[in-house]
Structure 1
Amino acid sequence: MNIDFHYGVIYIVARTGGMAPAEALTVAHACQYVDDATTSGILRFSGGETFERFATAHKLFDYTNTEDDQNRLVWTPFHFLPAGEGETLEEKAVCRPDSAVAREVVRRAIRQRGNDTALHRLGVTLHAYVDTWAHQGFAGIESPTNRVHMLEAEDCTREGWFARLTRATRHLVQHVEEDVLTLALPVGHGAALHYPDQPWAKWHYIDGRNVRIKRHNLPEFIQAAEMTCRAVRAYVAGREDFECQPGLPEDVKAALTKLLDTNRNLDDTKRLQTICEAVKTNAIPGLSESIPDYVPKGLGSWKYKATGLQSDDDSGDRPRWSDVFEKSDYRRFHDAVKEHRFVITQEILPACGLRIA
């Protein structure tokens, strides 16, 4: 999923589920920031203090995508949550919608409700949770499961996605056949392009098992929003049985379905603008407010507010450590990331017979 869902829809669902605007904003920001937190390593302060960060995303065609050990620590816990189903590691690593593993991850986040990282942890968790619908059938490790052949989609032309690629990527795609692209992108749904993340898309392909897979994203995305609303209601109530909580009201579900189906701009940031306008103009029942702009990098970002740093490459910078940093969304997000990754890789997955880190 893209920013239109991870930020816009998650904000809508969080508000509908009973959160105050400030809480919903923190959850939605953390949810989207999982796709933008690409800086890892030690943040060093001028007084000698240090703070460890884990990247929660890599960029498409980044060379780190070829390093399977790194993929397992980035793609698997945050974007392609394994369902733990099957016999082999490759089978267990496949992402399935609303799996038992995914529900346990949500319950673990709700359990941390009293911590100062609780809202950020919920946002990080919801990113991985809703992605189980969008990324189903793919895995966050190098696997034949991720192979895509005969990819086709309704109402989505090749020129549409092709125009969105960078010049270097367009050059690459122009000179490779479909099977070569599949082999070049062995992790996740890279070979399926943007189709898994477009709310309206109807598409199909032949997978690595030579099975024809048909996908219609809209009902899947609405189900993800429905279950997210249940998770938020459970969090607000301090209950872990989130699947038993009420979901989206019917009028909200209908409005959201129409919005996701008709909002078809290939630029996800423009889709987000449309969602924000819908919230502002009461097109979503019960909501009539402005969603603050999302700032991932630079001035106004969580990192800038916490450290004064604007660049991804902060290896040579030494900000001053202070109480401002300790109370910042940036620190809380990265601590939530560490908690989330540990629980998944060291507790939940090993209990399912899957050891990936």
Structure 2
Amino acid sequence: MNIDFHYGVIYIAARVGGMTPSDAQTVAHACQYVDDATTSGILRFKGGETFERFATAHKLFDYANTENDQNRLVWTPFHFLPAGVGESLEEKAVCRPDSEVAREVVRRAIRQRDSETALHRLGVTLHTYVDTWAHQGFAGIESPWNRVHLLEAQDCTRKGWLASLELAVAHLIERVETDVLTIALPVGHGAALHYPDQPWARWHYIDGLNHFISRHNLPDFVQAADMSCRVVRAYLAGREDFETQPGMPDDVKDALTRLLDTNRDLDDNLRLRTVCEWVNAGRIPRLKEPVPGYIAKGPGSWKYLATGLSCDDDTGDRPNWTDAFEKSDYRLFHDAVKQHRFVTTQEILPARGLRIA
């Protein structure tokens, strides 16, 4: 999923679920920031203080190095949560929508609702949870399930501006791309290109086990949004049985379905703009308000507000350690990330026979 869902739709789900605008923004920001936090290592302060950070995403093509054990610590707990079902490690590592493992990860986050990192932990958890729908059938480790052949999609947007001959050529090129990427990027859904993350996409392919896989993202994405709303309601009520809580009202779900189905710009940031416009215009029933802006990096970002650092390479300038840093969203996010990673990789997955870290 992209920023239109991780930030825009999660904001909607949080507000519909009963959160205040401020808390909904924190949860949605943390949810999206999982895709933008690419700086890991020790942050060093002028006075000698240090703070450990852990990247929850790789920079472009860094994930191609499958010999790097850090891949398992990034892709598996945050983007391709294993369902823990099957016999071999590769089979257990496959991500499945709304799996029992995913539900347990959610329950653990709700259990920590009184901690200082609670909202940020919930945002990180919701990123992982909704990605189980988008990334189903793929794994965060090198696996035959990640191989993609004969990828095809029904793409109304492209058909609208490509002539028939150009469309045929484009599909041919795309098929070659997937075959090359299957070899080059055996971790995650890299070989499936952008289709797993597009809310409206209908697509199919042959996986590495020669299974025909047919996907229609829209109902999956709507279900992910509905379940996120249930999670928020349970979180606010202090209940772990989130699956029994009310989801989105039918009119909200219908409006969201129309939004996700018609908002088809290939630029996910432009799709986010449309999501925000719908909320601001009251096109989501009982929700009419401006959606706060999201800044991933640079001035105004969580990192900049906490440290004054505006770039990923922060090995040079050292900020002052302050009480404001301790209270910052940046610090709370990274501590929430460490909590989520530990619970997932050291407790939940090993209990289901899967040790990957």
Give the shorter-chain TM-score range.
over 0.9
**2:56 match: secondary structure:** coil
Could you tell me whether the CA contact under 8 Å between 2:149 and 2:175 is conserved in 1? no
The alignment's C-alpha RMSD in Å is 1.8
For 2:214 and 2:100, locate their aligned partners in 1 and report how far apart those are by CA, in whole Å.
23
- In structure 2, the residue matched to 1:170 is none
Letter paired with 2:42: I
Deviations 1:96-140 (A, max 9, x none): 000000000000000000001000000000000000000000000
- In structure 1, the residue matched to 2:141 is 141
Unaligned runs of 5+ in 1: 161-172
After TM superposition, list the pairs within 5 Å mapping 1:55-94 onto structure 2.
Answer: 55-62=55-62, 65-94=65-94
For 1:64 and 1:147, locate their aligned partners in 2 and report how far apart those are by CA, in whole Å.
14
Could you tell me whether the CA contact under 8 Å between 1:64 and 1:70 is conserved in 2? no
Greater displacement, 151-160 / 299-308: 151-160
**2:69 match: secondary structure:** helix
Alignment of 1:243 onto 2:243: yes
For 1:71 and 1:59, locate their aligned partners in 2 and report how far apart those are by CA, in whole Å.
12
For 1:187 and 1:68, locate their aligned partners in 2 and report how far apart those are by CA, in whole Å.
11
After TM superposition, list the pairs within 5 Å mapping 1:21-170 onto structure 2.
Answer: 21-62=21-62, 65-155=65-155
TM-score by length of 1: 0.94
- In structure 2, the residue matched to 1:169 is none
For 1:193 and 1:159, locate their aligned partners in 2 and report how far apart those are by CA, in whole Å.
18
Deviations 1:152-210 (A, max 9, x none): 000167899xxxxxxxxxxxx89965422201010000000000000000000000110
Greater displacement, 93-102 / 150-159: 150-159
- In structure 2, the residue matched to 1:228 is 228
- From the superposition, tell whether residues 252 and 45 of structure 1 become closer, same or farther in structure 2 (CA, over 3 Å): same
Alignment of 1:354 onto 2:317: no
For 1:156 and 1:69, locate their aligned partners in 2 and report how far apart those are by CA, in whole Å.
39
For 2:65 and 2:274, locate their aligned partners in 1 and report how far apart those are by CA, in whole Å.
32
For 1:65 and 1:137, locate their aligned partners in 2 and report how far apart those are by CA, in whole Å.
21
Identity, in percent, stands at 80
Deviation at 1:272, TM superposition (A): 0.3
Deviations 1:246-267 (A, max 9, x none): 0000010000000000000000
TM-score by length of 2: 0.94
**1:66 match: secondary structure:** coil
Letter paired with 1:26: T
Letter paired with 2:28: A
Number of aligned residues: 347
Could you tell me whether the CA contact under 8 Å between 1:68 and 1:142 is conserved in 2? no
Structure 1 runs (4+) greater than 4 angstroms displaced? 156-160, 173-177
Letter paired with 2:136: Q
After TM superposition, list the pairs within 5 Å mapping 1:202-217 onto structure 2.
Answer: 202-217=202-217
Deviations 1:272-295 (A, max 9, x none): 000000000000011111011100
Letter paired with 2:345: T
